[in-house]
Amino acid sequence: MSGLLFDGTLETFYMVLLASVITAIFGVPLGVLLLVTSRGYFWESPNFYRILGTIVNALRSIPFIILMVAIIPFTKMLVGTSIGTTAAIVPLTVSTIPFTGRLIETSLRTVPYGLIEAATSMGATPWQIIRRVLLPEAMPEIIQNFTITVIVIIGSSAMAGTIGGGGLGDLAIRYGYMRFRADMMIATVLILILMVQLVQWIGDMLSRHYDHR
């Protein structure tokens, strides 16, 4: 049992870590793009914002268990299989990138617009405003919201076990549920709880570190 739990924990950690990195790479730029193309910002484009926002909202509305099954052909095209931890990363990222984009947009909106106007009056370009004003000023909120994303990924990675995604979710279903092993079920739940607590603690610590107010 201990060996199974150790392997399952490593698989879950692998899924969560890689999915979180990919989500950050695509989710943060998506959130920035949503903000700067909205009304009142320097790349204002109502039609583009409306179309992009509709796509983001549509992807966020699909339940994860349905999304996993719906994009199996896309998953096979990318990684060559629809089973296993690597395959599970595809629906994890497809699900969380639009979710993260909205959270990042919300975080960036906490930056007072007066700071943007001040930077513009001093001749800062849009890219300089994004890098030196928006992202640094909103960093505590970005970290807190991305912490929420990682916790969602942990929960979704457990759900991926229902279609052979591996990890702790797979153990809970195959050994805890199908074989009526209550000890295995309890152990997987406790490990997931510890992972969530650890992620939240790291997120809170980093948020306080970058909060200069």
- Kindly report the CATH number assigned to the domain that includes residue 60: 1.10.3720.10
The whole-number pLDDT of residue 213 equals: 64
The whole-number pLDDT of residue 51 equals: 95
Measure the CA–CA gap between 163 and 47, rounded to whole angstroms.
38
Give the number of domains in the chain: 1
Measure the CA–CA gap between 153 and 165, rounded to whole angstroms.
13
pTM tops 0.85, yes or no? yes
Measure the CA–CA gap between 6 and 45, rounded to whole angstroms.
50
Hunting for tokens 């299989």 — which residue is that?
A: 81
Query: CB–CB of 103/146 below 8 Å?
Result: yes
The whole-number pLDDT of residue 155 equals: 87
Give me the residues of the chain with pLDDT under 50, please: none
The whole-number pLDDT of residue 205 equals: 94
Domain encompassing residue 15: 2-210
Measure the CA–CA gap between 136 and 201, rounded to whole angstroms.
21
Which phi and psi angles does 111 have, rounded to 5°? -75, 125
Measure the CA–CA gap between 23 and 15, rounded to whole angstroms.
12
Give pLDDT tens digits for 181-194: 788 888 888 999 99
Measure the CA–CA gap between 203 and 201, rounded to whole angstroms.
5
41: left (phi over 0), alpha (psi -120 to 50) or beta: beta
> For 80, which DSSP code?
S
Query: CB–CB of 160/15 below 8 Å?
Result: yes
